[in-house]
Amino acid sequence: MASDNTSRGFTSNVGAILAAAGGAVGLGNIWRFPYMLGQNGGGAFLLVYILFVLLIGIPLMMTEFIIGRRSQRNVVGAYRSLSGGRKGWVLLGVFGILAAFLIYAFYSVVAGWTLNYIVMAFSGKLAGLEPAAVADTFSTFTQGSFWPLFYQLLFLVLTGLVITMGVQKGIEKVGKILMPILFLLLILMCVRSLTLSGSSEGMRFLFKPDFSKLTGQSVLSALGQSFFSLSIGMGAMVTYGSYIRKEDRLFKTSIWIALCDLLVAILAGVVIFPAVFAFGMNPASGPELVYVVLPNVFNNMPAGTLFAVIFFLLLGIAALTSTISLLEIIVAFAVEELHWKRSTASAVSTLLVFAVGAFCTLSFGPLKNVTLLNRTIFDLFDLITASYLMPIGALLMTIFLGWCFPKVEVKDELSNGGTLKCKAFELYYIILRYIAPAALVVIIISGIVG
């Protein structure tokens, strides 16, 4: 193991929870979740989503933590160690790194957009624009070449700097600072949104279930979003699990992280939908909800520029905490398996991700006519990772721990060597072996059929 990776663990359970929650909380909660909820009927989708997070998401997160902490290795080293070096399972670790790399490549595109909108909000360039001008601003920027690439690279560099500082001084410290700020800004935005005239309609849309609007595809979308939001199936929680102290309770840690993730998604809904309904905007606007609809909302409210700054700042924080976990998967592998220095691994990984991610950025402009399976490069990366790599990785993970790893060792790790009572262990093991794999197979098949 590389010498600069000796202080590899989190120093406290709070640090572990905030860092891992930061890895789970991201654009998936504040950008992706609201527009999916808007397109799938509101409150009924929210209930189904919460159900999937609690019944399947938490057990799968625990599974990744068990693999990581038991092995004390990166995602490749974890499967090598626990499988006795069998190449088939080692490839599952490589599979996770590939998923993280591709997700980071297209995720950094949207993260770059967020940086640009933070700058525009601060400079007042969004203030006073007519709705058509707001839409034109978004399309003109995303279809450009230089500035989207510039902001994407800037975000990648910021992430790389945090990773270079290490687990304790970088990932854990930044998580302890940014996650409380994120919640503070979210609550502030919630208060403002709820004080708008007509906001009650948005709250009804969000919290009053209308099951007539729920379709089979909506249920599948909620299931897929629960995995995507919790960063399941790409090795992030395996990597972070290897940093969790042996005395920390994995069950409680997983619950706290999932609750943080759920809370951010719900608060994001409280920020967005009351404001959207208050100004007569369309809640089913899709991916443009945050970058086109909300700037119009801010332009129609008092002190709108200030709240635009706050919103895009919290969106940027959420993006950064997620990209940190994505890059750490890759860097931990390079440090532990290839014996690179952390700074070298971070720099090389950042440049490689940018080299690939640039194609995703340019797919909105110069490369928009370059398609495969009728999808742009960006959409193709999104499809491959969300519909195939992550659920397949998670499925193989459940098969490994549920069917190919000794049950007694699983219980030993979850009970901290027998020092904790695991009353729900049998239920967890049933979910691990049967329920979660079945749900993942459904996601994979729906991705193929769809």
Per-residue pLDDT reduced to its tens digit, 149-201: 999 999 999 999 999 999 999 999 999 999 999 999 999 999 999 999 989 99
Q: What is the pLDDT of residue 26?
A: 87
Q: What is the pLDDT of residue 1?
A: 38
Q: What is the distance in angstroms between the CA of the first residue and the CA of the last residue of the chain?
A: 44
For the question of whether the overall pTM of this predicted structure is more than 0.85, the answer is yes
- Per-residue HEC secondary structure of 61-113 comes to HHHHHHHHHHHCCCHHHHHHHHHCCCHHHHHHHHHHHHHHHHHHHHHHHHHHH
Per-residue pLDDT reduced to its tens digit, 189-245: 999 999 999 899 999 999 999 888 888 889 888 888 888 888 899 999 999 999 999
Angle between helices 146-164 and 342-362 (to 10 degrees): 160
Based on the structure, what is the number of domains in the chain?
1
In the predicted structure, residue 7 carries a pLDDT above the cut 80: no
Structure tokens at 98: 């590939």
Q: What is the pLDDT of residue 3?
A: 39
Q: What is the pLDDT of residue 14?
A: 94
Beta bridge partners of 376: 371
What is the rounded average pLDDT of the residues 358-384?
Answer: 94
Q: What is the pLDDT of residue 6?
A: 40
Q: What is the pLDDT of residue 450?
A: 65
In the predicted structure, residue 354 carries a pLDDT above the cut 60: yes
Supply the CATH number for residue 204's domain.
Answer: 1.20.1740.10
Per-residue pLDDT reduced to its tens digit, 298-342: 988 888 899 999 999 999 999 999 999 999 999 999 999 999 999
Full residue range of the structural domain in which residue 214 is found: 3-449
For tokens 């601060």, name the residue.
Answer: 122
What is the rounded average pLDDT of the residues 56-68?
Answer: 96
Structure tokens at 47: 């209930």
In the predicted structure, residue 259 carries a pLDDT above the cut 60: yes
Q: How far apart, in whole angstroms, are the C-alpha atoms of residue 94 and residue 76?
A: 6
Q: What is the mean pLDDT of the chain?
A: 92
Q: What is the pLDDT of residue 5?
A: 44
Q: Give the contacts of 374 (CB within 8 A, at least 6 positions apart).
A: none
Task: Give the DSSP letter string of 374-405.
Answer: TEEHHHHHHHIIIIIIHHHHHHHHHHHHHHSS
Of residues 326 and 423, more confidently modeled: 326
In the predicted structure, residue 420 carries a pLDDT above the cut 90: yes
Per-residue pLDDT reduced to its tens digit, 17-55: 999 999 998 888 888 888 888 888 889 999 999 999 999
The greatest distance separating any two alpha carbons of the chain, rounded to the nearest whole angstrom, comes to: 63
Per-residue pLDDT reduced to its tens digit, 88-133: 999 999 999 999 999 999 999 999 999 999 999 999 999 989 989 9
